[in-house]
Chain A
Amino acid sequence: MLGMGAGRWEDDMSRLLALLFHQGVLDEHFMQLQQLQDDSSPNFVSEVISIYFRESERLLRNIRTLLADRECTDYRKIGVCLNHLMGSSSSIGANLVRNVCVAFRAASEHCNWAGCLRLLAVLEHEYCYLKNRLHELFQIEQQRVLADRVRYHPVLQ
């Protein structure tokens, strides 16, 4: 039964990933990221992703404060933040977030405050969605690892 469980976790994971790929939330760079994970760095993906989330939270916070006042908004700084976010998003393969960033950056280049605000909302929504899904993914991953451990646990054997 437990062996069955492990299979189920994997199924869930691939299903979730397929969904995310299908929706365009993730792209092939996420796959490459996963490939970089090997025995020498078993938690590579989750590490990178958690760095990503930490950085992104900070950047989003920055952007939000920068956009707080319509009159004295520093669009250049927003652009820098967005570049940063975009770079890291494309590195982990968060395609959708990256695309929103591109649009956001275009809006900030045109100093379109309303557009920026709207896109910030979209960005945060997408970001939350990504975050939730990836958390879900990691949970499954952990479950799987746990299941693996359980399966190979000497006591249980």
Chain B
Amino acid sequence: MGTEIPVARQRWWQTWTAWILWMMLMVSVWVAIHWYNRESIMTTAQEALVSMCDERARMLQDQFAVSVNHVHALAVLISTFHYQKNPSAMDQDTFAFYTGMTAFERPLLSGVAYAQRVLHYDRENFESQQGWTIKTMKREPSPEQDEYAPVIFSQETVSYLEVLDMMSGEEDRENILRARATGKAVLTNPFRLLESNHLGVVLTFPVYRMGLPAEATVENRVEATAGYLGGAFDVESLVENLLKKLAGNQDIEVNVYDVTNISDPLIMYGAQNSEGYKPLSHVSMLDFGDPFRKHQMVCRYSQKPPIPWSAITSPSGMVVILMLVAYILYAAQKRYVMVMEDCRKMEELKVQAEAADVAKSQFLATVSHEIRTPMNGVLGMLDMLLDTDLNLTQKDYAQTAQVCGKALIALINEVLDRAKIEAGKLEIEAVPFDLRSILDDVVSLFSAKSRERGIELAAFVSDNVPQVLTGDPGRFRQIITNLVGNSVKFTDRGHIFIQVHLAEHSNMPIEGMLCSSANGKVDEVETMSGGTVFNTLSGYKAADNRNSWENFKQLLSNEASHASVSLNGLANKKYPESVNLIVSVEDTGIGIPLRAQDRVFTPFMQADSSTSRNYGGTGIGLSISKCLVELMGGRINFISKPNIGSTFTFSVVLQQCTRNAGGGPKRSLSEDLPACFNGLKALLVDERSVRSAVTKYHLQRLGISVEIAKNTKMALNALTQKNGCLMNGKLPKVLFIEKDSWNNSDVCLYDHFLERKRTGHIHEVPKVILLVISECDKAVGDSLVDMVLVKPLRASTVAVCLQQVLGIDNQPGKELPKGAVFLRSLLAGKNILVVDDNKVNLRVAAAALKKYGAKVDCAESGKEALSLLQLPHKFDACFMDVQMPEMDGFEATRQIRLMENEANEQTRLRGAHFNDSDTELPQCHLPILAMTADVIQATYEECMKCGMDGYVSKPFDEEQLYQAVAKFVASKPLQGS
């Protein structure tokens, strides 16, 4: 708790800081984009302004120039017609008319007037000539001056100027002086014009008398001056008119200044304090042809150029987008953190769950083990109780208790198995074993039940499956027993059929099995007189139609073509190293309800709760089988149809037995089948193909060649034909008849044979063996046949049966004595050394062994044992405690073995020396059995590693002791003799 809050706060702070930084970034981005937009707009506006301003200035200048040119033309006119004609060709009327008519040429000039240069000495003359006195601008008679410039001609619009001396006005005088000095048009400062009150300038142009040279000096010019032509420019209206003609008039504020005196610009046009947009303006210089005067035009926007909406919307849009992006990133990051957190929690929970699972398995293993210990006590006591003298009822009770106890132990073992598998502690052995004999064992295990219920139980192993395989027989048997046990439990009629094939030959892959369950094929149904009979083992419909005769036959023929028949598994060397088997167990029981099919392999899960009530069981078997199959590198699968049956199929990978030369392992692996039937011929009457194949398989294992006939008639025909064609051909000695194929009409069969024999067709009446399913069928043909064989068939039962029928005297089967009696016989007279540091244990063990008639010596330590076991010694066996101080059992055994090896080596050398290789030299090998209190796998392995022969758990258990002792005593004669 202490650390979580700061972390949260820190995270909160981090988030907020990030947000604030991001917001600031956003604002700056907004400002930057906005500023950029504004700048670009301003630049554009500026450019537009410049171009507009320049255009206006140029036009104004052009217009002005046009007017000035015309004034120039007037000056030339006056010079020509007024001064060069004598008398003058021009008077006031002519001038007024002409100028009035040509006023359109000078739209900018309100009017023009001509003033003559009159020198003072000429004034009298001039005044008298004109008839008026020269007046000043104030309409007063002009005072005396050096020279005068009275207006003599004037346009009508400015007729008020007549007789006025232009030299009297300050502006005009200056203008006149400058004009005549330069010889060009000159302009006055802007001023208010007399009539229109508009701002305007006066243009003055000198008129020279004839013959002024181009490079005349100022004095020459002044001398040659005849008069002056003047006109008033109405600049304001001029500009007004001009601007009206141009586009964008409204937007632009135009000011025209006279900037002859830079420090004091004089406004010519426009408001003095214009209200236009100040920051943006452009100045264009104007050249009106007067070099003395400078004019300029200043343009500016009348309003601030509007900022377009886009300048705001585009950065805003950008900001919104970025905000969204940020939010998305933030949300994603938050989500990521959340998911990571969840993931971490999940991880933790997973670890916890796994730990719990392991703990559960361990608990289960421990508990099972702990239960097993007292249960062993209970069972042992029951064993002993049954040994005592009991009356029948007591015996019954005790037996029941024992059976229940054994069932409980079996269940506990299963649970323990399951737990072991889950804990990954179960290891698969790899020892050679005989698959067929295992199947026989399983079949015999369930034979009583199948007989009782009248169901067919059969096993079939393909000929191509090698006789001896390397794998874990115990586990293999467990799987099959589980499956068959299940089938037996749920099957009341029909059959249970175990098949083993090589996976290569089984052309239908396991994967496809589940899907194929739906499509039942109809064409496999044979319609027989009694109704619909399916071509399966028992004639009942099976869930997986692969096992019907059609497929079975195909499978068999496949195999037959694929490899030659090799019953002993030695002939064919083409087998690959690993053998892939497919085992299927088919039944015609109640099937598995569809809804329960997907959890069949879940432990403790039965089809439904009523199952356990009706049939018992815990439902752990299948899950164990699945685990075991997977451990053996295979897969398990099933097809099931309710009320039709189930077929469980699994594959296992086993190793080819490499030691194929030795008969040794085989002998111990499988029960010996008598070889005395080799070459025997038999005829099998069976209408069901699958069943006949199974029977044939068992008979062939005995070396009997079999022919199959569908019914008795055909069998008889076959016999007759054989007889007819091949007189010396060997007749079938035995006739097997299925009970189904046996009907009352065949009662005459025996008579028929007798008849034949009598007529000399056959020498010998074949023995007839009837195959029946259940005990109650046994009575059917008792009198008519030689023997009734109750199924399930096993090679050994068939062999026994044949021996009885044919009277062949086989060597008597080994009887397997068990228990104390046998133990006594095994141990009687044997010298046994018991090594244990624990005096009590030593004493008890010695007494227990003595009880079985052994002669017991004791040693209290490993060293003592070693000294006693110096070769040669008299002992036949040694029981060694594992945990001893100084030298423990493992070490002692190792040393004993070392000693023996040395001795053996010496013997061998000596034997080689004498070149006496014929007689097998006895090898010293003292059987050493470990005595240990904890029987765990690791201890067992260590025992084996250091050369021990077996182990017994410490307080001696009769059964275990028997097993351990029987092993070495049985193997001893083999090695000893």
Contact = CB atoms under 8 A, between A and B. Distances in A.
A80 interface: yes
Given A36-B848, A87-B954, A91-B955, A28 B840 contact: no
B843 interface: yes
B933 interface: yes
Main SS of chain B's interface residues? helix
B840 A91 contact: yes
Contacts of B843: 47-48, 51
Interface centre among B839, B840, B841, B883 (most CB of A within 10 A): B840
A88 B845 CA distance: 11
Nearest to A36: B847
Contact of A88 (B840, B848, B956): B840
A90 interface: yes
Interface string A19-62: 00000000111011101101011001001100110010000000
B380 A28 contact: yes
B590 to A, nearest CB: 43
Contacts of A90: 933, 954-955
Given A32-B955, A36-B844, A90-B955, A84 B837 contact: yes
B851 A36 contact: yes
Interface in A52-107: 52, 55, 80, 83-84, 86-88, 90-93
B795 to A, nearest CB: 41
Interface string B634-653: 00000000000000000000
A139 B838 CA distance: 26
A88 B839 contact: yes
Contact of B838 (A40, A41, A88): A88
B381 interface: yes
Main SS of chain A's interface residues? helix
B380 A33 contact: no
A41 B847 contact: yes
B interface residue count range (under 10 / 10 to 19 / 20 to 34 / 35 or more) = 20 to 34
Contacts of B839: 51, 55, 88
Contact of B841 (A31, A35, A87): A87
A52 B840 contact: yes
Contact of B844 (A31, A38, A48, A83): A48
Nearest to B374: A27
Interface in B941-966: 954-956
B679 interface: no
Contacts, number: 61
A92 B841 CA distance: 8
Nearest to A24: B374
Interface string B841-882: 101110110110000000000000000000000000000000
Given A28-B377, A36-B847, A83-B883, A88 B955 contact: no
B262 to A, nearest CB: 110
A interface residue count range (under 10 / 10 to 19 / 20 to 34 / 35 or more) = 20 to 34
Contacts of A80: 885
Interface in B743-798: none
Contacts of A35: 851
Interface string A121-138: 000000000000000000
Contacts of A55: 838-840
A40 B955 CA distance: 22
Contacts of B384: 31
A87 B883 CA distance: 10
A144 B334 CA distance: 88
Given A28-B380, A28-B381, A32-B955, A92 B840 contact: yes
B847 A91 contact: no
Nearest to A80: B885
A91 B841 contact: yes
A95 B450 CA distance: 44
A33 B851 CA distance: 11
A145 B745 CA distance: 78
Interface in B908-938: 933
Given A87-B933, A88-B838, A91-B955, A27 B377 contact: yes
A92 B954 contact: no
A40 B856 CA distance: 14
A44 B841 contact: no
A77 B801 CA distance: 65
Interface centre among B845, B847, B956 (most CB of A within 10 A): B847
A51 B380 CA distance: 26
Contacts of A28: 377, 380-381
A112 B657 CA distance: 53
A28 B851 CA distance: 17
Interface of B: 377, 380-381, 384, 837-841, 843-845, 847-848, 850-851, 883, 885, 933, 954-956
10 contacts: A29-B955, A36-B848, A36-B850, A41-B847, A51-B840, A52-B840, A55-B839, A80-B885, A83-B883, A84-B838
Identify the 7 closest CB pairs spanning chains A and B, nearest first: A88-B840, A36-B847, A91-B844, A91-B841, A52-B840, A29-B955, A87-B838
Given A31-B384, A36-B851, 19 more contacts: A27-B377, A28-B380, A32-B848, A36-B844, A36-B847, A36-B848, A48-B847, A51-B839, A51-B843, A55-B838, A83-B883, A84-B837, A87-B840, A87-B883, A87-B933, A90-B955, A91-B954, A92-B844, A93-B955
